[in-house]
A and B are shown apart, each in its own frame.
Chain A
Amino acid sequence: AQTVTQSQPEMSVQEAETVTLSCTYDTSENNYYLFWYKQPPSRQMILVIRQEAYKQQNATENRFSVNFQKAAKSFSLKISDSQLGDTAMYFCASSSYVSKAAGNKLTFGGGTRVLVKP
């Protein structure tokens, strides 16, 4: 069974500053991916960044980067140069391969609300 835990319900950051969101996960699978999704007030879920468990190099997407610590089962998201448009709920998710017939199971954490202040 997969579990994903986000221990920070809410965080605030000043515009242009950096904020780091924590995520820990538990899985018995060897082949899995980790994702961060953003949910702005519009409610639409948007993929921010993904990380393959087999890759040691941390993924980056513009101002978004992750710190993947496989042994610790930790997957944090860093938002640099925060912008007002980054205000949203952020969800960490784990995807593990079940089987070719069963596809993938995607499990989410409880979310962290990020407020960027001007």
Chain B
Amino acid sequence: DAGVIQSPRHEVTEMGQEVTLRCKPISGHNSLFWYRQTMMRGLELLIYFNNNVPIDDSGMPEDRFSAKMPNASFSTLKIQPSEPRDSAVYFCASSFWQGANTEAFFGQGTRLTVV
């Protein structure tokens, strides 16, 4: 398996533009997580899905952020409109639920820069 695949690896956009980050989880995995990593706040959980259903989106910073998982093999995180403070590395992770002992596998992340 190729692992969790995120695209793009790097994204530079202007303030006010819409940004869409993409994630393809490992085949067969049924949980998917979106995290944001910054120097100030570390690794924050934004939202996670189980069996394509959003379970907890309490970490989504504001209405400008939205995430979807239309099927088991694809998820998007959208920021509209983007702001400079959204600059961060965004990680997607997936896992196959086996109880609490469930290891999450991470993608390489998308480095977003909003200028």
Cβ B50 vs Cβ A103 within 8 A: yes
Residues on the A chain within 8 Å of B45, using CB:
105-108
Given contacts A103-B31, A103-B55, contact A32 B100 (CB under 8 A): yes
A62 near B: Cβ within 8 Å?
A: no
- Please list the residues of chain A having a beta carbon within 8 angstroms of any beta carbon in chain B: 29, 31-33, 35, 42-45, 47, 50, 52-53, 91, 95-98, 101-111
Cβ B99 vs Cβ A97 within 8 A: yes
In the complex, the chain B residue whose C-beta lies closest to that of A104 is B102
- Please list the residues of chain B having a beta carbon within 8 angstroms of any beta carbon in chain A: 30-31, 33, 35, 41-45, 48, 50-51, 53, 55-56, 89, 91, 93, 95, 97, 99-104, 106, 108-109
Cβ B101 vs Cβ A45 within 8 A: no
Secondary structure at the B interface, as helix, strand, loop or mixed, is strand
Cβ A103 vs Cβ B30 within 8 A: yes
Contact with B100, one of A42, A91, A97, A102 (Cβ below 8 angstroms): A97
B46 CB, min distance to chain A CBs, angstroms: 12
Contact with B48, one of A29, A105, A110 (Cβ below 8 angstroms): A105
Cβ A110 vs Cβ B42 within 8 A: yes
Residues on the B chain within 8 Å of A102, using CB:
50, 55-56
Secondary structure at the A interface, as helix, strand, loop or mixed, is strand
Cβ A31 vs Cβ B93 within 8 A: no
Given contacts A45-B93, A108-B43, A111-B43, contact A98 B104 (CB under 8 A): no
Closest 3 CB pairs of A and B: A110-B42, A45-B106, A103-B50
Cβ A104 vs Cβ B97 within 8 A: yes
Cβ B106 vs Cβ A33 within 8 A: no
Residues on the A chain within 8 Å of B50, using CB:
101-103
Cβ B106 vs Cβ A103 within 8 A: no
Residues on the B chain within 8 Å of A101, using CB:
50-51, 53
A65 CB, min distance to chain B CBs, angstroms: 18
In the complex, the chain B residue whose C-beta lies closest to that of A32 is B100
In the complex, the chain A residue whose C-beta lies closest to that of B55 is A102
Residues on the A chain within 8 Å of B42, using CB:
91, 108-111
Cβ A43 vs Cβ B43 within 8 A: no
